Amino acid sequence: DAEITQSPRHKITETGRQVTLACHQTWNHNNMFWYRQDLGHGLRLIHYSYGVQDTNKGEVSDGYSVSRSNTEDLPLTLESAASSQTSVYFCASSEVAGWEQYFGPGTRLTVT
Amino acid sequence: AQTVTQSQPEMSVQEAETVTLSCTYDTSESNYYLFWYKQPPSRQMILVIRQEAYKQQNATENRFSVNFQKAAKSFSLKISDSQLGDTAMYFCAFISGNTPLVFGKGTRLSVIA
């Protein structure tokens, strides 16, 4: 069955380190998204992509970057992790812009 | 910019009863989609129901139904015959054209036995 996976599921890192969270989907969806979820804020969009080589900034993109070299993957990089980036991160994909998104299981990141 | 507001941070309901979760949104677009997502303690985001703005008929999915009032920009979720497994965070979301989903801050629903 097609699916969307995230790795790692849990990560603890130190302030200042570079961290990359992986997202892989097997639906062949063009659209992929990264969100962070924090108590009291719901889900906030970090970056998104509508196809290979396309990336766009979301609401809370500072300190994060993404690159899209193929359809299946959209890795999220924290260039220099900060304690404010402790959060749960969700990846999602959709077949068509404007349609429902399917979410991965999430990655809990703790920056100490 | 589009915004989505869920005014009820927490709600509770007795098992087998009916509960309604509120959602309002703000947009100048005429064509858009609205969604309700459920996030149980497992953290997985699950699509509950979808409504196309151009459809007057309210969407239903088994025990879940919506009351879509386009003029009032209101999109409430009704859960009938509540079950313990309905305990979760519920997020209302909006999308229009080529823009990403915009989420509300969520409503935490507890179903009490």
Q: How far is B89 from chain A (nearest CA, A)?
A: 10
Report A:24-63 residues touching B (Cβ under 8 A). Answer: 33, 35, 40-45, 48, 50, 58
Say if residue B97's pLDDT is above 90: no
Tell me if chain A has a CB within 8 Å of the CB of B7: no
Tell me if chain A has a CB within 8 Å of the CB of B77: no
Sorted by sequence, the CB contacts under 8 Å of residue B75 that are 6+ apart come out as B23, B24, B25, B34, B36, B51, B66, B67, B68, B69, B92
A19 or A97: whose pLDDT is higher? A19
CA dihedral of residues A24, B1, B52, B4 (deg, nearest 10): 80
Mean pLDDT, chain A, whole residue set: 94
In this prediction, residue B106 has a pLDDT band, given cuts at 50, 70 and 90, of very high
What whole-number distance in Å separates Cα of residue B71 and Cα of residue B69? 6
